[in-house]
Amino acid sequence: MRPPSWRLFYCPSHKGRTMTKGQSSFWSSGHWPTLVAAFLYFDLAFMVWVILGPLAPAIAGDLGLTPAQKGLMVAVPTLAGAVLRVGNGLLVDRIGPKRSGAISQAIVIAGLFTAWLLGVHSFAGTLALGLILGFAGASFAIALPLASRWYPPEHQGKAMGLAGMGNSGTVLAALFAPGLAALFGWNMVLGLACIPLTIAFALYLLMAKDAPDAPAPRKLPDYFEPLRTADAWWLMAFYAVTFGGFVGLAASLPIYFTDRFGLTPVAAGYCTAACVFAGSLVRPMGGALADRIGGVRALMIVFVAAATALAGVPQAVALPAALALFVAAMLALGVGNGAVFQLVPQRFSAEIGVMTGLVGMAGGVGGFTLAASLGFARQWTGSYAPAFHFFAGLAVAALVALVFVKDQWRRSWTAAEGVRI
């Protein structure tokens, strides 16, 4: 099941004229208001998706949570987002990404407003809130197809990277949530988050537009046809490591910094923001790098760097050393996120909606695995080291698998002329 050759493509910004590759620049080949809307939606959604992480020290203190409960609290939104991404991927292909995004944003705003109004008073309440926040994490399966469908193959890495840079919203959560919680209480932060979400929702409705050449809806079983191919499972596995590592660390680092180095929640938020900013900043660079040298080669570099950095974290006894290793890991994982989504449209262009959901689901499962394992490792062994070593091992396993499949991919995939795999 191969994608079309893409030697010709529809270019909406040129009033339907058929253009050959190389005749248009990135900015003239798509629809920039939609790209901006996709970024804003993704950015604010990711801000609230991981908001329980920066608030975790305060919440745990008020509710008396154990390390394992803290780990589960920050991991549940990740897992919920993973599952919901599949549903959103299906919804995108059935009713279009714009309407799908509007529904998801309304659910998140209503859920946060209700949590603020009624309060969260138990561990079970934090898990229920985490399920609602999963709809924010599932924005991934909407924002990326919304942007991707407007751009030709040679610009997919850049388009998906810019839209995907919305994961920088995790920086906003780490920077502002702890300070606001110290001033107003952590429950008030849930209500305050509704303000930027509502503004972003209004801009989204004004700016976003579905691409005119979207594929027609198909029968439900047809959406899962990609899972009959090994390529889909490999791409899902690779994203489970790259994005899973990124979001798992983004959710867990506030807990790690306060517990391991005794930082205040605000100081831990600043340290987390530095790490997350690094990973978010390089996502579009990862897409551009993959456009230049190929997604496979970029991912090989990523897995080596991520495994080395994560394996070194437990040996870092001083905060600066640990911070440097986390920044290095996030840089690598951020590049990897962009590289995977340079590959996905090359192999599954006709199924980009559902494949974004499936690959995104795998990334969420990876994030849940890392966040939960850190909490359980701390409670059962008194150390976070086993979880970091485990995830570093997954990066090594992904590297070995990539070496195994890369030649077959390059032989069998039908990419557009000049597009590297």
- pLDDT tier at 336, thresholds 50, 70, 90: very high
Residue 15 in domain = no
* Beta strands at 18-20 and 8-10: parallel, antiparallel or unpaired: antiparallel
Q: How confident is the model at residue 413 (pLDDT cuts 50, 70, 90)?
A: confident
Checking if the pLDDT of 160 tops 80, the result is no
Specify if 145 maps to a domain: yes
pLDDT at 5: 32
345/347 Cα distance (integer angstroms): 5
Pick the closest to residue 82 from 239, 252, 210 (CA basis): 239
Structure tokens at 94: 């059935």
Q: Let me know if residue 49 belongs to a domain.
A: yes
Residue 14 forms part of a structural domain: no
Question: Is 85 in contact with 361 (CB distance < 8 Å)?
Answer: yes
Bridge partners for 19 per DSSP: 9
What sign results for the dihedral spanned by CA atoms 64, 66, 69, 75? Answer: positive
Q: Which residues pair with 8 in a beta bridge?
A: 20
Q: What is the CA radius of gyration of the chain?
A: 20
Most confident of 125-134, 158-167, 219-228: 125-134
pLDDT value at position 19? 40
Residue 292 lies in a domain: yes
Between CA 322 and CA 328 the distance in angstroms is: 10
Q: Which residue in 230, 45, 229, 226 sits closest to 141, CA to CA?
A: 45
What is the distance between the alpha carbons of residues 133 and 294, in angstroms, rounded to a whole number? 34
For the chain, the domain total comes to: 1
pLDDT of residue 257: 97
Instruction: Confirm whether 151 is domain-assigned.
Output: yes
Residue-wise pLDDT for 277-302, tens only, equals: 998 888 778 888 988 899 999 999 99
Alpha helices in 262-383 (DSSP H): 265-281, 283-293, 295-312, 319-347, 352-381
Whether 1 is in a domain gets the answer: no
- Residue 261 domain boundaries: 31-210+224-412
CATH code for the domain of 69: 1.20.1250.20
Classify residue 5: in a domain, yes or no. Answer: no
Residues whose CB falls within 8 Å of the CB of residue 121, separated by 6 or more in sequence, listed in order: 63
Q: Give 182-236 pLDDT, tens digit per residue.
A: 999 999 999 999 999 999 999 999 999 988 877 677 777 777 788 999 999 999 9
